Amino acid sequence: MLLKNYKFEFKLFPTLIFAIAFCGFIVLGFWQIDRADQKNVLNSNYTDRQQEATIVLDKNNIMDEKSSLLWRKVEFEGSFLNKQNIILDNQIFNQIAGFNIITPFKIKGSNSIVLVNRGWHPNLKNREMLPVINEIKGERSLLGYIAGFPVSGIKLGKNNIETLNSQIFRFQRLDTLELNYFLSANVMPYMIYLDPIIDKEFYENFKLPAPDSQKNYGYAFQWFAFAITLLIIFIRLSMTRKTNGK
């Protein structure tokens, strides 16, 4: 078949639908690329800050702006509040459901509290079972890096805090104001991931600030592929064979 034997016939309504859908797919594709680029910038900032000198976190700088501390390596001294352990529920690691073990930590010489993420634990056989959380007594000098609060996958029920026993509490999410009230303390709006981790029972599960940029590039490719496919279909359906050479 020769192209000269065909002609294009564009009908208003189908053409309008095609134009809207085609432009929509293209916009979505570029939006995904922009999302991926933003994530790459975040990850690059994290890598750069990891190369900077370690901060000694103390009473003088613990209340600095979160943005100036985020992702920095820190050295800190103080003591754990062993009777106020937090299980942060619904934390996925390597596609396995589990929870983070978090213990509040009082910075030496300060009235401020920072949450220390001691690691990840896979879900137990049932929700009534409790993990073994060892007490860490006395003053400790530790190393780690600062990050924002982890994002919980889902919220189960209306109550955010569930008392499991006198020393362990299950949280669905972390909220600074709620933590201040619950712990009766001034809780910082960030947490510290230990490096190295000190509990052999738990797993280190820190992720890059935005670990899924490759997925966004993949989604962008899919949207552009949809647009090209739609264009081919539209052209094919708009082509009709000429009759009597017309």
**DSSP track, 14-54:** HHHHHHHHHHHHHHHHHHHHHHHHHHHHHHHHHHHHHTSPP
The confidence band for 154, taking pLDDT boundaries of 50, 70 and 90, is low
Output the six-digit token pair for 150. Answer: 């982890």
Q: Are residues 35 and 89 in the same domain?
A: no
Residue 222: alpha-carbon gap to chain centroid? 23
Q: What integer pLDDT is reported at residue 4 of this predicted model?
A: 67
Q: Are residues 229 and 156 in the same domain?
A: no
Q: Is residue 117 part of a domain?
A: yes
Range of the domain at 133: 69-194
Q: Are residues 91 and 127 in the same domain?
A: yes
Distance CA 236, CA 226 (A): 15
Q: What integer pLDDT is reported at residue 1 of this predicted model?
A: 46
Q: Are residues 89 and 174 in the same domain?
A: yes
Percentage above 70 pLDDT, the chain = 92
Q: Are residues 93 and 188 in the same domain?
A: yes
Distance CA 120, CA 93 (A): 8
Number of domains in the chain: 2
Q: What integer pLDDT is reported at residue 11 of this predicted model?
A: 78
Q: Are residues 77 and 30 in the same domain?
A: no
Other Cβ atoms within 10 Å of 243 Cβ, number: 7
Q: Is residue 103 part of a domain?
A: yes
Percentage above 90 pLDDT, the chain = 47
Q: Is residue 47 part of a domain?
A: no
Q: Is residue 119 part of a domain?
A: yes
Least confidently predicted of 47-56, 80-89, 187-196, 235-244: 235-244
Output the six-digit token pair for 103. Answer: 């213990």
Q: What integer pLDDT is reported at residue 48 of this predicted model?
A: 85
CB 142 within 8 A of CB 78: no
Q: What integer pLDDT is reported at residue 212 of this predicted model?
A: 75
Give tens-digit pLDDT for 13-66: 888 988 999 999 999 999 999 989 988 888 888 888 888 899 999 989 988 888
Q: Are residues 100 and 157 in the same domain?
A: yes
The overall average pLDDT reported for the chain is: 87
* CB neighbour burial string for 195-207, b if at least 16 within 10 angstroms, e if fewer: eebbbeebbebbe
* CB neighbour burial string for 17-53, b if at least 16 within 10 angstroms, e if fewer: ebeeebeebeebbeebbebbeebbebbeebeebeeee
Q: Are residues 189 and 222 in the same domain?
A: no
Q: Is residue 130 part of a domain?
A: yes
Q: What integer pLDDT is reported at residue 80 of this predicted model?
A: 96
Tally of helices (H runs) and strands (E runs) in the chain: 4, 11
Q: Is residue 134 part of a domain?
A: yes
Q: Is residue 210 part of a domain?
A: no
Pairwise pLDDT comparison (198 vs 47), residue with the higher score: 198
CB 74 within 8 A of CB 93: no
Q: What integer pLDDT is reported at residue 43 of this predicted model?
A: 81
User: To 10 degrees, the CA torsion angle through 31, 207, 90, 152?
Assistant: -50
Q: Are residues 94 and 170 in the same domain?
A: yes
Q: Are residues 125 and 231 in the same domain?
A: no
Give tens-digit pLDDT for 169-195: 999 999 999 999 999 999 999 999 998
Pairwise pLDDT comparison (31 vs 242), residue with the higher score: 31
CA separation, residue 77 to residues 36, 98, 243 (Å): 38, 29, 88
Q: Are residues 27 and 85 in the same domain?
A: no
Reference 54, options 118, 117, 140, 145; nearest CA is 145
Give tens-digit pLDDT for 212-223: 788 889 999 999
Amino acid type, 189: P
Amino acid type, 246: K
Q: Are residues 111 and 222 in the same domain?
A: no
Q: Is residue 199 part of a domain?
A: no
The DSSP symbol for 109 reads T
